[in-house]
Structure 1
Amino acid sequence: MDILETIREYGNYYYAIVFAWTFLEGETFVIFSGVAAREGILDLPTLICFAWLGSFLGDQLYFLIGRRYGARLLLRFPRWKPGVDHALSLLKRYSTGFVLSFRFIYGVRNFSSFAMGMSGLPWSRFAMLNFIAAGVWAVCFAGAGYLAGMALQHILGDLATGFGLLMLAAFLIAILVLFKMSRRRPAPPPEPVVTSRNVPAQAE
């Protein structure tokens, strides 16, 4: 069965799935849902609202877990510490900018809300900035799927329905996955500094 037809059969219940998925993460899911909205299967503003709410509440929960249980959880799961430390260093360096953008930063997204809960960041300030950031995130990813579907439909006309839009969604998801899997190349080791101490004496 076509995935778009499956979404159509779920009807309004699909928005609850969007909420649950974005509560955890769900960029690729929101992109595909944006494509479905272009097909008229979903309502784009409603999709954005549910993605916004799910993302916002998910990170609020992780923030509260970090505030209340952060130290104990790090003792139990020490492998989390590098990610938490990195998120905290970015928070210290960029402050408001980091809270607004952490959803878009691969490698620290999963630890950011938890780490900020362990910091001295007030709950009310995080909630306000997190609400704004979740809205921007939902609009960006749902809108990306919607606009990409519109572009394909404009180019291919009636051929860009059903299977065509499904393939477009798969392409967008593949690009996002490849981006996430990419790693920054390690910086080359610094060249040794030549001083009078490490230059061998020339024979006379």
Structure 2
Amino acid sequence: MDIAALIAQYGYAAVFLGALFEGESLLLLAGYAAHRGYLDFSALVVVAGVGAATGDQFFFWLGRRHGQALLARRPVWRGKVDYALALIQRYPSVIILAMRFMWGLRTALPIAIGLSGVRRWRFFWLNLVSAALWAPLVGGAGYTFGALLSRHLVALHRVEHWVMLGLALTLLILRGYFNSRHTRS
């Protein structure tokens, strides 16, 4: 099985799982894969949007039900959550709509919103709107980048599968490294 077949077979599942957390990098790569014809762009946007909204709903619920206990067990999160709570108090609707675009706070913000007084239905609808904006914008950026790159670098087609695999592995390694550094401090 070659890389193209792997992308076609597991690409949507990877995007869904990535979007449950902070999946911008993976969605950018998937947008490029859609440009190349390995994934359908419309399906990609739907899968990414559903994954992002589902992940944020889960973290909202986690914050609402177990937020204080979670913060007691993970005091390293306290700073991000306190910062997020301050933002939510001032601009609740704007924060919910923009949270998906705030890199590094995507998990902390829904937990903090769950801890705040924001009603669950308000969060639900604003979260859906946010996911509906995020998925085509980020996926479209990857698609557009792929179109520009393909136009200017014809030789890339011979090694693009390996480049995508290398980028994905590099991003995973960097994410693991930064997460391990963050949890130790």
Give TM-score, length-normalised by structure 1: 0.75
Matched, 1:141 2:138: yes
Task: Find 1:163's aligned residue among 128, 134, 159.
Answer: 159
Determine the structure 2 residue equivalent to 1:96: 93
Aligned equivalent of 2:147: 150
2:107 — aligned with what?
A: 110
Equivalent residue for 1:201?
none
The equivalent residue for 1:186 is none
User: What 5-or-longer segments of structure 2 have no aligned partner?
Assistant: 179-185
1:16 aligns with 2:13: yes
Look up the equivalent residue of 1:6 and give its one-letter code.
L
- Which piece of structure 1 moves more, 96-105 or 54-63? 96-105
| C-alpha distance in structure 2 between counterparts of 1:68 and 1:91, whole Å | 18
1:121-161 CA-partner distances (Å, limit 9, x unpaired): 000000001001112111111111101111122234x4342
User: Is the counterpart of residue 84 in structure 1 residue 81 in structure 2?
Assistant: yes
- Counterpart Cα distance in 2 of 1:97 and 1:5: 40
Local SS of the residue matching 2:47: helix
Structure 1 unmatched runs, 5+:
182-204
In 1, Cα distance between equivalents of 2:83 and 2:97: 16
Quick check: which one's helix share is greater? 2
| Residue identity matched to 1:138 | A
SS at match of 1:139: helix
Alignment-mate amino acid for residue 7 of structure 2 = I
Match of 2:6? 6
Q: In 2, Cα distance between the equivalents of 1:67 and 1:147?
A: 38
Equivalent in the alignment of 1:67: 64
Instruction: Pick one of 34, 39, 48 that aligns with 1:37.
Output: 34
Q: Whole-Å Cα distance in 1 between the matches of residues 151 and 108 of structure 2?
A: 40
Q: Please give the alpha-carbon distance, in whole angstroms, between the structure 2 residues aligned to 1:38 and 1:165.
A: 13
Q: CA deviation at 1:5?
A: 4.2
Deviations 1:94-145 (A, max 9, x none): 2211111112213322200001001000000000010011121111111111
Secondary structure at the aligned position of 1:109 is classed as coil
Q: What's the CA shift for 1:4?
A: 3.4
In 1, distance between residues paired with 2:80 and 2:52? Answer: 20
Which one has a bigger Cα radius of gyration?
1
Assess if the C-alpha contact under 8 Å between 1:62 and 1:113 holds in 2: yes
| Secondary structure class of the residue paired with 1:106 | coil
Number of residue pairs matched by the alignment = 172
What is the distance in 2 between the residues matched to 1:2 and 1:149?
20
Deviation at 1:14, TM superposition (A): 3.1
Question: What amino acid sits opposite 2:157 in the alignment?
Answer: T
